[in-house]
Chain A
Amino acid sequence: MQLFLAFAKAKTTTHLMEEHIVIIGNGISGVTTARHIRKLSDKKITIISAETDHFFSRTALMYIYMGHMKYEHTKPYEDYFWKKNRIDLKRAFVQIVDHANKQLQFADGTSMAYDKLVLAVGSKPNKFGWPGQDLKGVQGMYSKQDLDLLEKNAPDNKTCNRAVIVGGGLIGIELAEMLHSRDIPVTFLVRESSFWSGVLPEGESAMLNRHIKNNHIDLRLNTNLKEILSDENGHARAVVIAETGEELPCTVVGLTAGVSPNIDFLKDSGIELGRGIKVNPMLETNIPDIYAIGDCAEQHEGINGRRPIEAVWYTGRMMGETLAQTICGNPLPYNPGHWFNSAKFIDIEYQTYGWVYSKPREGETHFHWKHEDDTKCITINTETATGKFIGINNFGIRMRHEIFDRWLTEERSTDYVMEHLKDANFDPEFYTLFEKDIVAHYNKTYNKDIRVKSKSWARIFSRA
């Protein structure tokens, strides 16, 4: 007992002497950093957020509005988790980062000292200076506050008899789906000639255009916003379309033309900023002991063909995992593996592994297969000269991440991928499978004679 007490006391003392890691932002990046620092060390950890008391899944906000879940369900950890893991949570808005004194100043006038500071402050919706963009009823869809606002602006189709969404990306289509779930008529303005055509190849993008329209969303392609008109109370009453001058009456305008790093409060901090917070591959800013990760971090140069700013859920998580190692004495550069991502467009799921660009780059060829029901398709990107597999987009068919990651590492050929396509399928049991169709189409297109091998557990679970 004596011994135990002595031990406990020693532990408390070391704890008091541990350095204080302060993380601004309780999203996936900040929380992952905190969790991994705790796994690796006894450091004092504080997470500061102005948005919510607890970590929640931002990507799930749409499901709260749609009635699939409640806010509580979007919290990946029960509320006791933080205390149990000695991660202090503070609800506050950081106004000033005073790196000379290693201190934060909050909006309420109080302050907090740090030894190391992690900036994981996320994004904010883009606004491009449209007239009327700050009217009531005009909003983005990014934060918990945005969700609360939407609940107020568009609780039902009586309060909101039409909504217009500006910007054809992932948040745009999610917002359209959300409003549509409450029977609110939606007009969806997309600047490009086809939905998300800057990212997706033509066939896929065209299929999604049809899917959006099938869901009774009024999709307007090649359409730009000119201005948002106000009623006498400063509330949006209509939008004007640039190309035609058409006036679309509406009560809610969703601005979903992308997001950018949420860094306004750092303008005069001395931390080097570009579009985001500039970091090196160690995720360090120009100021010692200050790091930036997640949506708000901007690499001086993109790593492994990635963009300098990656506003993606899992990259935030990976930066958190990496930074925790660095902070706990195992300095590691951020070195993301093969690109992958996923999304869902109303009813059509999308996954991607490796690189598939909207148009094949020099020396690349796209192979495209689409099912006749118009909800499933794949595009495979191949290096023309060598036949090397570069990446796949799959819509309406689920694929195994581990398999494609391995094939990319092993630099397999597209022929090999075709031959072993059954190993990669991840659809639920009993689903109709399309490997034969796909490969038949591939054989016909390239005049080949590849036969699909049966699925093999041995191959699926063999370690590369």
Chain B
Amino acid sequence: MYAFAKAYSTKTPTMKAIKYTGLLIFLTGLAIFTASLFLGSFELTQENLDTFTQEKGIESEVLKTKLTERLVGKEYGTSFEMSSGIITALEEANAVHKEKQEWDKVVWEKPHSFSFGIVKKAGKGILKDNPGMMWFLTFGLGILGALLFILPNYVLLGPAGIKNNGIYHQSSTNRGLIAWLVLVYLVSFYLLLYFRADYVVNWTFILDPISRALNGGEASQWFVYGFLYCTIMVTMAVRMYIKYRHNKYQMIRTTSVLFFQIVFAFLIPEIMTSLNMPGYDFKNAFPLDYDFFFEWNLDTLTESGAIGLFILVWGIVLTLIIVPVMVYFFGKRWYCSWVCGCGGLAETLGDPYRQHSNKTMKAWKLERWLIHSVLVFSLVMTLVTLYCYFSGTDAFLGIKSQWIKDTYSFLIGAWFAGVIGTGFYPIFGNRVWCRFGCPLAAYLGLVQRFKSRFRITTNGGQCISCGNCSTYCEQGIDVRAYAQKGENIIRSSCVGCGICSAVCPRGVLKLENGPLDGRINPTDVLLGNDVDLMDYVNNKKSS
């Protein structure tokens, strides 16, 4: 044993050296990834422009002329400069048509989304010519560096077990400068992705070859996001596997979310697209999949023959039958921490930040108001949309269908789920969206609270109120408040990640599915005290 100790102590400096080399490589990859937005140049040929306008079906000659005048033959250093030229041309042309009331010639698409298509065609230079090398310098270095940073933990963390040492001493996990820098980077990333896609066209060039291989077409910003999402989840899952290697529940759960993200959310939709089918994520249930009942989706599905019809039926069955039945048997965890993509990212990339969820009563009140409001919002939106779809009108109950869809997509779809949901990980914890915003989580939560076999059982009187469970609850549940009273934890928001049970030093908590009888067990006096006293108190209460 002493020999082992000695071997360990000589191993440590080596492992630390590998770890910090990894960090350096990762940061280099990240820097190149970021800087790649400024690489290469953009030049539009008339031929490319014609192809674009033809594909888009643009009828406005004014726009075509303006685009030609402004863009063709000019070389732009960055996509931002080119984008501003395109958008000026677009706005000028739209103004002309609006004045003449030529509504069918106005381009209604969002300017930066419109611009994306042209910039994508105009790119040239190192990224386009050498995507393989650029992939290695960005994704490759990122993955390699991250793995070198993570793998030494196998030795550095010591024997398997809960190793949360130093979490509140480190800037990155204790809301220090590093955490804020990560927040700024993530928020900027999401803002660009959702609102300025044309600025990040360069990233799509890096993944064009992979995209072509998978779905036959070039990479969009959403392909970049999907690929990056999977890459990050796989890499950070390695971290989970090392950290929780003593805990089979965590190992299996992590494998499950990885599987559903890579196969269901990423590969299957891409392959379906390559087969000229509508790309569909079969696990993405309405109302998290909020545009399932939007006109464009219903049109696509009804025009796609048998598979379209199947998806339509599946989507409805998933939400109305599969989801509640599964929640009855297993709790909402089957979805939120075993299947869901948002949950998957939260449980991998977000795991280092789980302790930041707010545990106060105020936060719980805010949670209940917010998440149920979003659920109502999504249902009203869908009702309006469906009414308008079938009646052919453009408003219902005085609410314009287009307006409510745009508002929801912008506020909930982009800002809440993306920018805040993931961007705020390092400061507000990894489940901000799942706890405060996800309408599906609200729905699952109602079922879980009122009709489910799932509970976290408290083990009699063993709780010592240490607070590890509450601290590491990503959903901000004050687990200890129940455990120290000997009560089971039955909360609509619990996603069943199992970490409270894992970090408990006294074996007090167990996630389990059991009979409904005795699931909720209010107690005034805990197990261990004399039986008569328990009878006295409990009888007094019921009388």
Contacts and interface: CB of A to CB of B under 8 A. Distances in A.
A402 B138 CA distance: 55
B468 A430 contact: no
B102 interface: no
Given A398-B459, A400-B459, A402-B460, A351 B518 contact: no
B4 interface: yes
A317 B526 contact: yes
Contacts of B461: 314, 317, 340, 401
Interface string A340-364: 1011101101010000000000000
A322 B360 CA distance: 30
B515 interface: yes
Given A67-B166, A76-B480, A336 B247 contact: no
Contacts of B467: 57, 60, 63, 69, 73-76
B527 interface: yes
B510 A398 contact: yes
Contacts of B460: 340, 400-402, 405
Contacts of B161: 346-347
A162 to B, nearest CB: 14
B47 interface: no
Interface string A162-191: 000000000000000000010000000000
Given A69-B471, A461-B514, A76 B167 contact: no
Given A63-B466, A69-B168, A351-B506, A216 B9 contact: yes
B510 A428 contact: yes
Contacts of A7: none
B529 interface: yes
Interface in A168-222: 181, 210, 213-216
Interface string A428-440: 1111100000000
Given A73-B467, A347-B159, 4 more contacts: A60-B467, A76-B484, A400-B459, A428-B247
A59 interface: yes
A87 interface: no
Contacts of A429: 248-249, 498, 510-512
A426 interface: yes
B164 A215 contact: no
Best-buried of B5, B471, B507 by chain A (most CB within 10 Å): B507
A336 B480 contact: no
B165 A68 contact: yes
A302 interface: no
B501 interface: yes
Interface in B438-474: 457, 459-462, 464-468, 470-471
A450 to B, nearest CB: 25
Interface residues of B, number: 65
A457 interface: yes
Interface stretch (B190-198, B233-241, B267-275, B531-539): B531-539
B8 interface: yes
Contacts of A28: 465
A372 interface: no
A64 B165 CA distance: 10
A50 interface: no
A325 interface: yes
Interface of B: 1-2, 4-5, 8-9, 158-162, 164-170, 246-249, 252, 360-361, 457, 459-462, 464-468, 470-471, 480-481, 484, 498, 501-503, 505-507, 510-512, 514-515, 517-518, 524-533, 536
Contacts of A431: 248-249
B507 A68 contact: no
Contacts of A214: 1, 4-5, 159
A458 to B, nearest CB: 8
Contacts of A430: 248-249, 252
A3 B58 CA distance: 76
Contacts, number: 183
A337 B486 CA distance: 15
A215 B165 CA distance: 14
A337 B168 contact: no
A263 B323 CA distance: 60
B526 A349 contact: no
A460 B459 CA distance: 12
B506 A67 contact: no
Contacts of B510: 398, 426-429
30 contacts: A59-B465, A63-B468, A67-B166, A68-B164, A68-B167, A68-B168, A74-B466, A74-B467, A76-B480, A78-B360, A213-B2, A215-B159, A332-B532, A335-B529, A335-B533, A337-B531, A340-B461, A342-B464, A343-B506, A344-B506, A346-B161, A347-B159, A398-B459, A405-B527, A426-B459, A429-B498, A430-B249, A431-B248, A432-B248, A461-B515
Nearest to A429: B249
Contact of B466 (A60, A314, A405): A60
A52 to B, nearest CB: 14
B468 to A, nearest CB: 6
A199 to B, nearest CB: 17
Contacts of B247: 428
Contacts of A336: 528-530
Interface string A214-249: 111000000000000000000000000000000000
Given A66-B165, A342-B507, A426-B510, A322 B529 contact: yes
A313 interface: yes
Contacts of B525: 321
Interface in A1-37: 28
A214 B8 CA distance: 10
Contacts of A325: 533, 536
A160 to B, nearest CB: 15
Contacts of A73: 467, 470-471
A184 to B, nearest CB: 12
A102 interface: no
Nearest to B2: A213
Contacts of A342: 462, 464, 506-507
Given A68-B165, A69-B467, A426-B459, A347 B249 contact: no
Interface in A405-464: 405, 409, 426-432, 457, 460-461
Given A57-B467, A322-B529, A349-B505, A401 B462 contact: yes
Given A73-B471, A347-B161, A337 B528 contact: yes
Contacts of B464: 57, 59-60, 313-314, 342
A318 interface: yes
B484 A210 contact: no
Given A74-B467, A335-B533, A461-B517, A428 B498 contact: yes
A318 B480 contact: no
A347 B162 CA distance: 7
A28 B484 CA distance: 11
Q: Which of B9, B460, B503, B515 has the most CB of A within 10 A?
A: B460
Contact of A335 (B166, B361, B530): B530
A70 interface: yes
Contacts of B459: 398, 400-402, 426
B175 to A, nearest CB: 11
Contacts of B159: 214-215, 347
Contacts of A313: 464-465
A69 B5 CA distance: 28
B471 A68 contact: yes
A78 B364 CA distance: 13
A60 B170 CA distance: 19
Contacts of B533: 321-322, 325, 332, 335
B433 to A, nearest CB: 24
A276 B460 CA distance: 29
Contacts of B515: 457, 461
Contacts of B514: 457, 460-461
A340 B508 CA distance: 13
A313 B527 CA distance: 14
Nearest to B9: A216
Contacts of A318: 526, 528-529
Contacts of B9: 216
